[in-house]
Structure 1
Amino acid sequence: MNCEDAGCITVLNDIIIDEAKEQAIAMAAKAISHPARVRILRILARQQGCLNSDLVGELGLAQSTVSEHLRILREAGFVIAEPKPPRTCFTLNRVKLDEFGALLSYL
């Protein structure tokens, strides 16, 4: 096949798009790959407002462990952290969760 052919360009573009989607799925899946992080998302999904240190009590984990799980979820975009001194308010980023669901439909 001659790469000057328009079909070749389409195939290459599809491969690049597919690789980007695969990378996005893998990164998001890694962020929610721990049961405690899934539990955090479920807890936040049930909340009307925001949660702060209440997560430690609900999860039964050390503060440092919960903080690390929240850091990973924040970096992946699943959780939004809003400083409300002296605490931080955590909410679920439903837009990011919807985007992840849409990416999964790619499979």
Structure 2
Amino acid sequence: MPKRLPQNGICPVATTISLLNSQWKILIMKELLKKTERYSKLEKNVAGISQKMLTQSLHELENDGLIHREVFPEVPPHVEYSLTELGNSMRPILQSMHNWGVQYLKKHPQKITES
């Protein structure tokens, strides 16, 4: 692959990596590809994530424009997270990661990890 950068000097691959710079962000987005979720459901479905990391990752994903946080005026507060149009545009990337992982695990079954 040639080492050409866009005119502004920012590498598109580096940009994508910086937006998805942790396993937690990728796993959160994987869950939100399925459907809109509440915080507690994300905490349950993203195995191994701490409350601190979930909160931090959600905040960063929202600031980057990849997810939307909707607060419902209820007591107790009801908050739901969903992918934005921009976040949903990462679907093919995450699907490719899934497909590659399936093929890898078929060839290396001893490497099975929880996802």
Fold-level match, TM-score > 0.5?
Answer: yes
Corresponding residue SS for 2:58: helix
8 Å contact kept, 2:33–2:88: no
- The amino acid across from 2:40 in the alignment is S
CA drift at 1:25 = 5.4
Give RMSD over aligned pairs: 2.8
The match for 2:72 is 84
1:4-83 → structure 2 map (5 Å cutoff): 18-20=6-8, 22=10, 26-47=14-35, 49-59=36-46, 60-83=48-71
Paired residues, number: 84
* TM-score between both structures, scaled by the size of structure 2: 0.58
Q: Which runs of 5+ in 2 are unaligned?
A: 93-115
Instruction: Normalising by structure 1, report the TM-score.
Output: 0.61
Sequence identity percentage? 17
On the 8 A contact 1:44/1:51 being kept in 2, the answer is no
Distance 1:44 1:66 in 2: 13
Q: Which has the higher helix share?
A: 1
Matched letter for residue 64 of structure 2: A
